[in-house]
Structure 1
């Protein structure tokens, strides 16, 4: 397993390795984090296939891995982000090329959305309704691993 920022260095290592190389983290992706998240989802909610998962935040390596997971495991990923933090063209092109089950929504108000997200970053969703919870609360069995 390797955690390295350069994705190119990872692919070079894979080309020359005599044993399997597991991508623990690069600037482009973080598949081990998403594997753990999917396992947690399935432990608490059952199979993820056919379900809908929401991502609220910016374009980053974890989002890229969630997108790949949605395609691989057959669930819908709904992404909510301000326009200036939306996924880059390369990811949008990948979604189209693979007919991936991903919906991207942006808030045209931009920075106002970021302020609202910060104010409500401890919202938990229990499947029926959202509610404000203390940061250490166990109000929902599924919690974000990122702030």
Structure 2
């Protein structure tokens, strides 16, 4: 039976760490000129209801870098928009390709595709979870800071899919996580409660961004209005304005703190130009690492097993 990557909570800490270690190793080998051929002769389908530049290109580059092939399907190219049952799509697609990478809105879509698919289904983003992105973020943190267990990581902004996956990562990998979110924009309460019940270190939600980043080793943020929330843009600009990651907020963190942003960034909204382009920013390494973590995920899951 195929194993799927739907949410980080589906995996143990050692399994997640193994994926990150594999990505770091593959990155090092690639830079040394090693050509990976783990998936020669294999094909994945990228099924994207939500368009993306970085996610699409990084998955395509990862698959080609493993010797495989890619079929890209936008929402207009699939039967999702025509209300074909997901179970039918899953069973048919599994006879054409070796894996499905899904970027969509509802988590229930990837869950049902996985229920009926005989090949791995990988969640490239839903409104509830963003597991692959958080794995690449964690890879970047490890490259910059070393062991996760000793770190305090701060999230500043919306309690969105990124925040939910950070919470699940903290419960599995044992770092301290503090999230600063405005009232009414907190992370999913069920995800938060489940993670807290399993976590070794505190997972805290506060209102004050300065409190969240105090002595933090890592500061992470994201756009204030995600895809599908365009109608809320003006209201969110007002609500989240005190949550901008800027030089003043960065001064509250540890002197060697790094700053993450999954991109695209709205400069002078959720993050200032000086921080994004400054010496503490690791966003370009973070963006590159999407490709390396996707390589590790594809190699692990399409070859069978996550180790």
The TM-score with structure 1 as length reference comes to: 0.78
* Residue in 2 that maps onto 1:104: 205
Number of aligned pairs? 139
Q: CA RMSD in A?
A: 2.9
Structure number with higher strand proportion: 1
Distance 1:47 1:85, change over 3 A: same
Q: Report Cα offsets for 1:21-75 as digits up to 9, x if no partner.
A: 1111111000111011000000111121232100111110000000010011111
In the TM superposition, residue 113 of structure 1 has moved relative to its aligned partner by 7.2
Match of 2:243 in 1: 117
Higher relative contact order (CA 8 A, sep 6+): 2
1:1-147 superposed matches below 5 A: 1-99=101-199, 101-107=202-208, 114-118=240-244, 121-123=245-247, 124=250, 127-128=254-255, 134-143=274-283
Q: Any unmatched runs of 5+ in structure 1?
A: none
Corresponding residue SS for 2:136: helix
Q: Contact conserved, 1:23 with 1:30, CA < 8 A, in 2? A: yes
Q: Distance in 1 between matches of 2:104 and 2:176?
A: 29
Q: Is the 8 A contact 1:58 1:81 kept in 2?
A: yes
1:135, CA displacement in angstroms? 4.9
CA distance in 2, matches of 1:49, 1:27: 28
SS at match of 2:204: strand
Cα distance in 1, alignment partners of residues 241 and 159 from structure 2: 17
Larger radius of gyration: 2
Higher helix share: 2
CA contact (8 A) 1:2 1:23 kept: yes
**Structure 2 spans left out of the alignment, 5+ residues:** 1-100, 209-236, 258-271, 287-307
